[in-house]
Structure 1
């Protein structure tokens, strides 16, 4: 205190503080970034929805969709969401849907590098054909261990890739059906939740004490050789996924072509036909890949790498492949299955004609297709058609008529089922929404037909909705 009775206080800095940006959604950190077991984007969406105590359909339709640049959904109705869920493989893939969703989620959460939860980085060299499985797959033991250790339950990107059939850690096949309701599960749906069945809500982990490694190997239906190749595939794809940040720029398809040329020169001295025969690949197809006119699918790349004892990363770096020694591999003897040329078979016109007439007169259901008829007679379908075009057309028309009648009957059956479901839900005091009805239907895909949807709307009108 000063002599005049005044008090001196510490000075205040009145400079305005810089407040960091706030995210609209929780800054939920992805699991396993820069590791082979990195989380998938579909699984991240499920965890993000669970963290906000809302189902994935609400998160997508009300929060994510307004930020999408591309118009993937014409509206936010359950029908349009179903079309997105049916294309859920694209969310983890290499195209515009994955890119747009990554950008939207990064803006909502302010989390960077969400593209690492997809295969966007490899879009130039990995075709999407047969790349992802259309249904969920998981390791029940992994789920159980994560739960017992209080770890995050999530869906790794590795499990969504079609080539991956086993869990490399536990040496068992990935599960493809819920152990409670025995149904296959979609990659993403209205009520998806990591570790739980989206149909019945059951826990997907192994509700038993964790088994020993030897017991787990006994559970596998794969042979020892198949298990070895599958374990190698998992390790190689995992290495590829975790190495994204080691590349200065995304690899381009010209590098695949260059690597294949190096392999052909090293293994068969530039003989494309011999290399194609050793790898079990059509020569023209291999030529298209070598010249860069087309790209091999992931399964073919894995097949080549496995036989030549190299990794996918080696194949993507021609400069490293050029210094690799293939002396041992070039002299390796691949097992070849001898193909004996079949002797020509004489065409018995009278016998074939009698058989076709008998098939046309038969009342057997379902009727045979022309492909089945040709296989049964032991002749090529085109050969039979060349001799008896009218009879072949009549058999095909008979099968089409039967298929059309079956289709009509299934639609009518779905209409009756929808009416019963709506009335049952109404009796239970539950609103018969389209999403709820489709969950109970035996074949929910039939809701896409206008007759079934008309039956749904008509029944809801009758009960006052």
Structure 2
């Protein structure tokens, strides 16, 4: 018997619709960028979707966007990414949103902290290429991995600060963020060429950064079935064969080459612990074995792996304790005092200790007065740099205001605040109402002669201009 009441039932439909880009490739879109596309397609702000559809434990009283959330973990491989995928999937009617995060590689990466970058990063040439090919710009998942410093396609360093306003976005998802545009001044982040940020592949550090970027790109290009086979246990299982083949069975040679403590490798081989992702990246570079083969436990590749001669001097040592025998404390004290009076003091006490090769706590216990002076000098330098950036932005804003007012005056239009604000937004400036009011008054006093000329010219022709700039 056929029930006619079920034949005319409209199936449930998703309230939003957007197609993720780059699926199945290493250039796959990240979830935070996809959320921005969903909000843009629905003509709403990301916060509206967050407040109305995402059930997150947050302080509703403050109304602050992303309150009590780790927005940098949206694209990761932990509970935050799982919660966001489970919340967004019903909204768009898709079951493959975990491919926009590192969840398919969760078993391979583990719960290692520091995998996701805490700052928004992008490749200007990739964004420019998206628009040049007739599409919309989107931000890649690869850019969210903190271990990847360069773009594997254009071999340029990823940028974190807007080239126009100099502001660095602290989160990949914010109230006013739009893919490919600065979250502060709304200026375009794409660029056709980026020669100053090009990476020199001839240097050891440049070759290492390119290797790591391409290594993670190959991991993101894997399908779900291949990614499920990757694990850190398989990587540990390859170490005995690699030690026997490339290092003639001597574990100490591997430790010296990779700058690992001997106890660390022993703990791995005994099964008491698993290597972190940073240790696996270092092993991949030292052995010149792709991270994909290392995590897959490819014994054929391990059996034919010779000892490489790559340099690791630019990488920090994994040893927790620094040898202090024969330490020249007088030389260290002279270096620290000289840095205070120099033109370029250390940014922080941690940077000073790292430059001397000694733990910050031990160096602070030895030189407490110098530690306080270097800390204060670094803080003062950062404040001066922030003030200089603020003055530069204010000067650029004032000059742009003068340019916009002069352009309106030349077109016989009264430069009221609304028209000037609209022109400034088209130039990519993010306007603060109270600060802009003072700037407008200052610029009007500078252009008082041209404004009076505009009024006399309108009177000669028998007409005037109202505050909207229209002829009467």
TM-score range, shorter chain: 0.5 to 0.7
Please show how residues 137-216 of structure 1 align to structure 2 within 5 Å.
Answer: 137-185=121-169, 186-206=171-191, 210-211=192-193
Question: Cα 1:287–1:21, aligned 2, differ >3 Å: closer, same or farther?
Answer: farther
Q: Separation in 2 of the partners of 1:199 and 1:346?
A: 48
Q: Once structures 1 and 2 are overlaid, which stretch shifts more, 114-123 or 270-279?
A: 270-279
Look up the match of 2:50.
60
Question: Cα 1:40–1:18, aligned 2, differ >3 Å: closer, same or farther?
Answer: farther
1:322 and 2:299 are equivalent in the alignment: yes
1:246 and 2:230 are equivalent in the alignment: no
1:294 and 2:273 are equivalent in the alignment: yes
**Pairing partner for 2:240 from 246, 261, 274:** 261
- Report if aligned partners of 2:162, 2:189 keep a CA contact under 8 Å in 1: yes
What do residues 370-402 of structure 1 show as CA deviations (whole Å, max 9, x unaligned)? 9979x99x999869969xxxxx77x59987998
In the superposition, the TM-score normalised over structure 1's length comes to 0.65
Aligned residues: 362
Please show how residues 2-401 of structure 1 align to structure 2 within 5 Å.
Answer: 16-17=6-7, 21-65=11-55, 71-75=56-60, 77-79=62-64, 81-84=66-69, 87-126=70-109, 127-185=111-169, 186-206=171-191, 210-211=192-193, 220=198, 222=200, 224-225=202-203, 226-247=205-226, 249=228, 251-318=230-297, 321-324=298-301, 326-327=303-304, 329-330=306-307, 332-333=308-309, 344=326, 395=369
- Report if aligned partners of 1:95, 1:120 keep a CA contact under 8 Å in 2: yes
Q: Separation in 1 of the partners of 2:349 and 2:279?
A: 32
Q: Separation in 2 of the partners of 1:228 and 1:102?
A: 35
Q: Separation in 2 of the partners of 1:104 and 1:380?
A: 43
- Report if aligned partners of 2:181, 2:187 keep a CA contact under 8 Å in 1: yes
Q: Separation in 1 of the partners of 2:11 and 2:248?
A: 60
Q: Separation in 2 of the partners of 1:49 and 1:371?
A: 41
- Report if aligned partners of 1:73, 1:80 keep a CA contact under 8 Å in 2: no
Q: Separation in 1 of the partners of 2:309 and 2:227?
A: 38
- Report if aligned partners of 1:153, 1:195 keep a CA contact under 8 Å in 2: yes
What do residues 83-131 of structure 1 show as CA deviations (whole Å, max 9, x unaligned)? 32xx222111111111111111112211111111111122233143221
Q: Separation in 2 of the partners of 1:334 and 1:227?
A: 12
SS of the counterpart of 2:301? Answer: coil
Q: Once structures 1 and 2 are overlaid, which stretch shifts more, 163-172 or 153-162?
A: 163-172
- Report if aligned partners of 1:61, 1:81 keep a CA contact under 8 Å in 2: no
SS of the counterpart of 1:49? Answer: helix
Q: Separation in 1 of the partners of 2:360 and 2:82?
A: 47
Q: Separation in 1 of the partners of 2:173 and 2:189?
A: 15
- Report if aligned partners of 2:157, 2:198 keep a CA contact under 8 Å in 1: yes
Runs of at least 5 residues in structure 1 that lack an aligned partner in the other structure: 1-12, 66-70, 357-365, 387-391, 410-427, 430-438, 442-465
What do residues 61-102 of structure 1 show as CA deviations (whole Å, max 9, x unaligned)? 22222xxxxx54243743362432xx2221111111111111
Q: CA RMSD in A?
A: 4.5
- Report if aligned partners of 1:369, 1:396 keep a CA contact under 8 Å in 2: no
Question: Cα 1:21–1:300, aligned 2, differ >3 Å: closer, same or farther?
Answer: farther
What do residues 422-459 of structure 1 show as CA deviations (whole Å, max 9, x unaligned)? xxxxxx99xxxxxxxxx979xxxxxxxxxxxxxxxxxx
Q: Separation in 1 of the partners of 2:101 and 2:23?
A: 11
Question: Cα 1:316–1:18, aligned 2, differ >3 Å: closer, same or farther?
Answer: farther
What do residues 8-49 of structure 1 show as CA deviations (whole Å, max 9, x unaligned)? xxxxx9685375643343231211111101111111111111
Question: Cα 1:382–1:398, aligned 2, differ >3 Å: closer, same or farther?
Answer: closer
Q: Separation in 2 of the partners of 1:334 and 1:248?
A: 28
SS of the counterpart of 1:138? Answer: coil
Question: Cα 1:259–1:19, aligned 2, differ >3 Å: closer, same or farther?
Answer: farther
Question: Cα 1:326–1:135, aligned 2, differ >3 Å: closer, same or farther?
Answer: same
- Report if aligned partners of 2:229, 2:296 keep a CA contact under 8 Å in 1: no
Question: Cα 1:316–1:41, aligned 2, differ >3 Å: closer, same or farther?
Answer: same
Q: Separation in 1 of the partners of 2:264 and 2:219?
A: 25
- Report if aligned partners of 1:195, 1:205 keep a CA contact under 8 Å in 2: yes
SS of the counterpart of 1:123? Answer: helix
SS of the counterpart of 1:59? Answer: helix
Q: Separation in 2 of the partners of 1:227 and 1:379?
A: 27
Q: Separation in 1 of the partners of 2:40 and 2:363?
A: 60
Q: Separation in 2 of the partners of 1:257 and 1:51?
A: 46
Question: Cα 1:77–1:299, aligned 2, differ >3 Å: closer, same or farther?
Answer: same
In the superposition, the TM-score normalised over structure 2's length comes to 0.64
